[in-house]
Amino acid sequence: MADAVYLDYNATTPLKPAVYDVMAEAFGDVGNASAVHAYGRRARSRVETAREQVAALAGVHANQVTFTSGATESNNAVLKHFAGRRILIGATEHNAICNCPVDLELIPVDQDGLINIDAFEKMLETGPAPALISIMLVNNETGVIQPVAKLAKLAKAKHRDVFIHSDAVQAAGRIKIDFPGLYADFMSLSAHKMAGPQGVGALICAPGTPSVAFMHGGGQEKRQRAGTENVAGIAGFGKAAELAIADMAHYQQLGVWREKMERALKEAAPGCKIFGEGAPRTANTTALCMPGLPAQTQLMTLDLAGIAISSGSACSSGTFKPSRVLQAMGASEEEATSTLRISSGWNTKESDIDAFIDHWTAMVRRLLPQSEKESA
């Protein structure tokens, strides 16, 4: 599409050209990273370079990085390890946490999507000691940033042995990640949310944590994750991690454009609402609710205009069920089915944001009765 506008970076991101180049080079080569010959050693070197690069992004030592097939696998590995014991998770976690087939207790959030501290403390004080608490660093639908370090410290002060996991998929490349500063024991990352390839991710573990090995077979990844390494994917992930560190400044710019966009949308339709607006958010995400205009209608209208956005998480788009995340934040069913997610990234230009503002405001003027535009 010649003038296509892609604003769905929280679903997946375009590869950066340098990532593509590193992967193309790896695909052009042969070699199992476990083989001892020169080909194998070259593949191994690609994997270990990537490990250093991902470790630098997370602020950890390379031996704390285990490559996986993505964040779904990383999340599942941690949660399943603690199956049968008490596990607390944030109410707005991704399906890759919520749908894991283990018993989970939801920690309520407030209307901005932040963990409700009083409710959290009460959960820590009642019932058996939790074995694991999983709280995402950044929400995929709203961009809301949870104070993971504060919550982890609070939990560990009450229960010394509790393990903390954080799904940091939507934080990587968008805000600085300092794993030791989060006071977490495990953290999940995914390459394709940060200009890397789909189907590769990582689990970061604090020193001394138990093995949460999930795949069994060969001795790859220090016996943490069996299976021949996806060398090209891992190499691309590493390059993406390296570039993400340098690219953080672009997110300042995205924040300026986002502010301009949100102001323009509210001026054009005073009845619209932005979820998570009162909380710290990543600079690239807006959850925009226009009551009276179903997200499905908005998505299709904008798609015809060449604008790619999403409603809620990618996993539930297409089904158009009310967003579970927004409902946990107190949204009505109508609000939770009338919300779009606009998410920008490394290759977004100001003209993309301007095109969205123009098409969205024209759509609202065309499709929504005057009374609804003005009342929330």
Q: Are 200 and 191 in contact (CB under 8 A)?
A: yes
Any contact of residue 323 with ligand PLP (CB under 6 A)?
Answer: no
Position 170 contacts ligand PLP (CB under 6 A): yes
Q: Which is nearer to ligand PLP, 141 or 352 (CB)?
A: 141
| Cβ nearer to ligand PLP, comparing 301 with 310 | 310
Query: Which CB sits closer to ligand PLP, 100 or 231?
Result: 100
- Residue 13 or 298: the one with the smaller Cβ distance to ligand PLP is 13
Closest approach of ligand PLP to the CB of residue 166, in Å: 10
Given candidates 190, 230, 286, 317, which one binds ligand PLP under the rule CB under 6 A? 190
Q: How many CA atoms lie within 13 A of 149 on its CB side?
A: 6
140 scored as a contact of ligand PLP (CB under 6 A): yes
d(CA 312, CA 316): 7
Q: Which backbone phi and psi does 157 adopt, to 5 degrees?
A: -65, -30
Q: Which residues fall within 8 angstroms of residue 33, CB to CB, at 6 or more apart? A: 40, 43, 44, 46, 47, 220, 228, 229, 231
Asked if residue 201 binds ligand PLP (CB under 6 A), the reply is yes
Q: Is 96 in the site for ligand PLP (CB under 6 A)?
A: yes
Which tokens sit at 159?
Answer: 């229960």
Where does this chain touch ligand PLP (CB under 6 A) — which range of 28-36, 124-132, 165-173, 329-337? 165-173
In whole angstroms, give the CA distance from residue 158 to residue 208: 20
205 is catalytic: no
CA dist 16 and 243 (Å) reads 9
Q: Which of 57, 136, 184, 234 binds ligand PLP (CB under 6 A)?
A: 136
Determine which residue in the list 314, 324, 347, 372 makes contact with ligand PLP, applying CB under 6 A: 314
Question: In Å, what is the CA distance from 280 to each residue of 51, 113, 143, 275?
Answer: 30, 10, 8, 11
The DSSP output letter for 102 is: S
In the chain, which ranges are E strands?
5-6, 65-68, 87-90, 105-107, 132-134, 163-167, 186-190, 201-205, 273-275, 285-289, 307-308, 339-343
Token duo for residue 50: 């990537």
Catalytic residue (choose from 100, 205, 289, 315): 315
Q: Contact region for ligand PLP (CB under 6 A) — 20-28, 70-78, 276-284, 352-360?
A: 70-78
169 belongs to the binding site for ligand PLP (CB under 6 A): yes
Does 265 bind ligand PLP (CB under 6 A)? Our answer is no
16 interacts with ligand PLP by CB under 6 A = no
Active site residues: 315
- List residues near ligand PLP by CB under 6 A: 70-72, 94, 96, 136, 140, 167, 169-170, 190, 201, 313-314
